[in-house]
Structure 1
Amino acid sequence: MKLDKQNCVNKSPLNHYLILVMSIASALTVANIYYMQPLLAKIAQYYHVTQGYSGLLATLTQIGYAFGIFLILPLADIIEKRDLILSMLLGAAVFLLLLFFSSNIVIALFASFGIGFCSIVPQLLIPLAAQLANPNERGKVIGSIMSGLLIGILLSRVVSGFVGKYMGWKSIYLMAAFFMFMLLVILRFTLSKSYAGSKIKYSESLKSMVVLIKQFPILRESSIVGSMVFLAFSAFWAALTFLLQSSHYNMGTDAAGLFGLAGIVGALFSPLAGKISDKKGARFTVGINIVVIIAAYVVFIIFGFQLWGLIIGVILLDLGVQSCNVSNQTRIHQLSEEARNRVTSVYMVSYFLGGAVGSYLGTFSFQHFGWIGVCVIGFLSQLSAVYAHTYKLKKKNQF
């Protein structure tokens, strides 16, 4: 009887209301990782550290996110998913409060890692939605939830930029903790129980991810491309706040945050990118978006010291990165029903490790080589993405 109940719950319908709730939850949770990007200059001043050192906060947050995906996401193939999601929300709230009350950079670094580790809720919700969606609508559903997630990424910078200027940079973390407690209550009564379909042990689950990497060439390709794409994205956003506060612009944290509004154009394109992936093939869409990202960095290196140039570059960058991520996830979610969360874990660990490296290289390059150095990082990452995407182009089972 218990098995029948589990199967029934696992097959519950995915309606528009549930997709909306998942999208909002993804937006509010992923925002935890990105609040600090427009605030890095203020954080450096607050803790009396260098620009490069303050960049470690963003780096550790993304490393924490990667570790959370690696260690927690495989559990979703083994244990009940709703309780796991609620536990992560509670943990995120605790670490957000710890950062709010932190008195030195060491505590802030520890809290940043914990925030990233526990803010993996979107990566638990996306495979759940893919599991519940009809196969012919999977790309569209993933794109819809990704839109919420990506709007959360971009608006987080807008909100934190303004809050940082007018209320102090720490205030946003108190607000974020409140959002996590609110989501905990809402999802407790919105999500149904969703039991795992796999009987694999946790230790075996972690080991099996190595097997999945060897088994699926598409997973290897998507992981490398995703990491390089997100490296370019994170390098830009980590360096942007320092560029805007330099003598070229003399702008504050609110201006850095406002650039997130330009990037929303890319986020709004995600459902359409999902539809294109369903019709034209996700691999085709990935290739187009790498070209778009390269175009963004061409604009940055030529017109980066003009405000209109930055705005156009941001639109192209976010459009390319977000659409590429949707298409990559559409590809990998077709690989294995039973191992979907582990497949997602491999991809997203690579994705956010690339982002962590990008955050560090963005601040380091700007500090030592200026804006041109940041653009060089962007170009080199995309050359790597092109190589991974075109390597053994004629190999089988591409989609």
Structure 2
Amino acid sequence: MPEASSTQRPVLSNTTVWLLSAVGALAVANLYYSQPLLADIARYFRVPASRVGIVSTLTQVGYAVGILLFVPLSDVRERRGLIVVMLGAVAVALTGVALAPSLGWLAAASFAMGATTVVPQLIVPFAAGLAAPGSRGRVVGLVMSGILIGVLGARTVSGVVGSALGWRAMFGLAAGLMLALSLWAGRRLPHAPPAASLRYGQLLRSLLPLARGEPVLREAAILAGLGFAAFSAFWTTLVFRLETPPLHYGARTAGGFGLVGIVGALTAPFVGRLSERRSPRTTVGVGIGVGIAAYLCFFLAGSTLAGLVVGVILLDAGAQTTGVSNQARIYGLPAELHGRLNTVYMVAYFVGGALGSLLGAWAWGRWGWEGVCGVGLGMLLAALGVYLAGSRKLTA
């Protein structure tokens, strides 16, 4: 028995861990390249801003569907092969985005791209399962750091590339990167046999009863969805706000806000320590409050660059606080459920993000920046209501 275990868990080299971190960063970036480029895409296809928001919406809907359908496979299929296949599939989808002849084609290809960009959700359990027990925390931390850098850096890279070479070039370059990573992963990643003997259908059927039976998971998923809806409403419409009077900035500046968000993201280690001293649920409440403060800043000072910068720092800090704390809560539940807990949580998270993108673009077309602020504040106030309603029942 120990022998089998050791063959299933070869120690990862430092080089492989760093490369996995890079794969996570480059893969998750696919979800965010479009956001600073939406105004350019709207002009190219000659459609209003409210219509082009469907690109961000369907990207996130696709990601939620991909998590639901493909991530559970990592428990019952060989993980290296699954990672290779998904990297190849997202390369094909990105090619479809780059070559899209119409907005409808672009929206459909964006959905496919989102659905196949699930590699970040595959490599974390892959790395954790193959790491030596004593270094598992360090390995997972490095991979998660790479994913966070990808989320924050994607908008900056796409803003620069889109301004210089056009929006199609960004997705063409991303397709080439994913193909190269697929070839690398097939040659360099170690074999990782499946961890469970359940059938795929059994795994999927167990998700709904799990969500019903775990009140901590249920609350964490609802709060995550509402929080990410507020986050996405802002990022989907930021480029339109920057282009209108009195600001008059373009995609490059919108992308630069990704770097500003790093300041907010640096709260993660502090939040982790605070949640250990207090409780993860307490810091979830703090994160919701910081998010509300961010949207008040957007509403009161969103016509100035300084106001937007301060708001972005607060918004990213709030999102990071609720995200880290919610995941600490669900990973406090039984270890044998972690894969499925993460699936339920992340599906709710990105369904919320898709809803926020859709409502944010719609509100921008109808009421402008004040409408976007109303959507974001509404989502966060709803989250606050859910949080307060559960305060008497839940402490974890």
Class of the TM-score when normalised by the shorter of the 2 chains: over 0.9
Deviations 1:318-369 (A, max 9, x none): 1111232122222222323333222111101100000001111111111111
Which of 233, 236, 244 is the matching residue for 1:235? Answer: 233
What is the one-letter code of the residue matched to 2:349?
Answer: Y
1:140–1:271 contact (8 Å) kept in structure 2: no
What is the one-letter code of the residue matched to 2:25?
Answer: A
Quote the residue 1:85 is aligned against: 83
Quote the residue 1:355 is aligned against: 353
Which of 59, 62, 71 is the matching residue for 2:60? Answer: 62
Deviations 1:149-174 (A, max 9, x none): 22212211111111111111110011
Quote the residue 1:200 is aligned against: 198
Distance in 2 (CA, whole Å) between partners of 1:153 and 1:201 is 33
Quote the residue 1:30 is aligned against: 28
Q: 279-288 or 176-185, which moves further after superposition?
A: 279-288
Quote the residue 2:367 is aligned against: 369
* Closer/same/farther in 2, CA of residues 280 and 96 from structure 1, 3 Å limit: same
Quote the residue 2:208 is aligned against: 210
User: Aligned residue pairs: how many?
Assistant: 396
Which of 262, 276, 280 is the matching residue for 1:282? Answer: 280
2:130–2:192 contact (8 Å) kept in structure 1: no
Q: 301-310 or 282-291, which moves further after superposition?
A: 282-291
Quote the residue 1:173 is aligned against: 171
* Closer/same/farther in 2, CA of residues 268 and 49 from structure 1, 3 Å limit: same
1:144–1:271 contact (8 Å) kept in structure 2: no
* Closer/same/farther in 2, CA of residues 314 and 135 from structure 1, 3 Å limit: farther
* Closer/same/farther in 2, CA of residues 189 and 5 from structure 1, 3 Å limit: farther
Q: CA deviation at 1:22?
A: 3.0
Matched, 1:220 2:206: no
Question: What are the equivalent positions in structure 2 for 1:1-399 lying under 5 Å apart?
Answer: 7-13=5-11, 17-131=15-129, 144-395=142-393, 398-399=395-396
Q: 153-162 or 328-337, which moves further after superposition?
A: 328-337
Deviations 1:47-101 (A, max 9, x none): 1222111110111110000000011111112112121111111101011111112
Distance in 2 (CA, whole Å) between partners of 1:54 and 1:166 is 21
What is the one-letter code of the residue matched to 2:59?
Answer: T
2:9–2:132 contact (8 Å) kept in structure 1: no
Deviations 1:181-219 (A, max 9, x none): 232233334432222232211111111001110221111
Secondary structure of the 2:206 match is: helix
* Closer/same/farther in 2, CA of residues 73 and 224 from structure 1, 3 Å limit: same
* Closer/same/farther in 2, CA of residues 217 and 74 from structure 1, 3 Å limit: same
1:266–1:323 contact (8 Å) kept in structure 2: no
Q: 165-174 or 20-29, which moves further after superposition?
A: 20-29
* Closer/same/farther in 2, CA of residues 93 and 204 from structure 1, 3 Å limit: same
* Closer/same/farther in 2, CA of residues 56 and 247 from structure 1, 3 Å limit: same
Q: CA deviation at 1:135?
A: 9.0
* Closer/same/farther in 2, CA of residues 193 and 309 from structure 1, 3 Å limit: same
Distance in 2 (CA, whole Å) between partners of 1:14 and 1:292 is 38
Secondary structure of the 1:248 match is: coil
What is the one-letter code of the residue matched to 1:38?
Answer: P
2:31–2:114 contact (8 Å) kept in structure 1: yes
TM-score, structure 1 normalization: 0.92
Distance in 2 (CA, whole Å) between partners of 1:147 and 1:21 is 12
Deviations 1:210-266 (A, max 9, x none): 111022111101101110111011000111010011122111111111111100112
Q: Which consecutive residues of structure 1, in runs of 5 or more, have no partner in the other structure? A: none
Q: CA deviation at 1:24?
A: 1.8
* Closer/same/farther in 2, CA of residues 211 and 376 from structure 1, 3 Å limit: same
Distance in 2 (CA, whole Å) between partners of 1:309 and 1:151 is 24
